[in-house]
Amino acid sequence: MFAVCYETNNESTTTSENYTQSYQSQTNESDLDKVITTQEITQAISKLKTGKSPGKDGIISEIVKNCNCLIVPLCNFYNLLFNSSLYPSDWSQCVVVPVPKKGDVNNVNNYRGITLMNVFSKLFQLSLINV
């Protein structure tokens, strides 16, 4: 019931090819030589919200927030991904959960979908925003 609703209501007209072309036209060569720093990882970790449901990996943000020993290894790993233009396929798998809005809970249109992302994917994306 929800799958049909979300498939038809949220179809995206933007393709990854269009996005890539748009991004390439807005990117300076110097942007591609930047590295993710430990400060950017720390800043990204501070932006993770607590008390939220985990993504498909089952890891909650509180684990990352309370483990400073992850900062340097994550920095190295994220730079490896960034420099080699890689993105783990598991990170593209999110969980969509229907959340009721006001009104009749038996009406599928009274729900909105939220996407639960893997915490390390979310952290990588937050780090890239700061680069």
DSSP string, 27-42: --GGGGG----HHHHH
Q: Is the pLDDT of residue 14 over 70?
A: no
Which residue range(s) make up the domain with 54? 2-130
What is the count of structural domains for the chain? 1
pLDDT number for residue 56: 92
Instruction: Record the pTM.
Output: 0.71
Task: Write down the pLDDT at residue 11.
Answer: 53
Q: Which of 67, 68, 77 is nearest to 36 (CA)?
A: 77
Q: Which residue has the higher pLDDT, 68 or 31?
A: 68
Q: How far apart are CA 11 and CA 83, in angstroms?
A: 31
Please report the pLDDT score of residue 103 as a whole number: 87
For 79-120, what is each residue's pLDDT tens digit? 999 999 999 999 989 999 999 998 898 998 899 999 999 999
pLDDT tens digit string along 20-63?
Answer: 555 555 655 566 668 999 999 999 999 999 999 999 999 999 99
Sign, CA dihedral 112-118-119-124, equals negative
Contacts 24+ apart (CB under 8 A), 45-50: 45/71, 45/123, 47/126, 48/119, 48/122, 48/123, 48/126
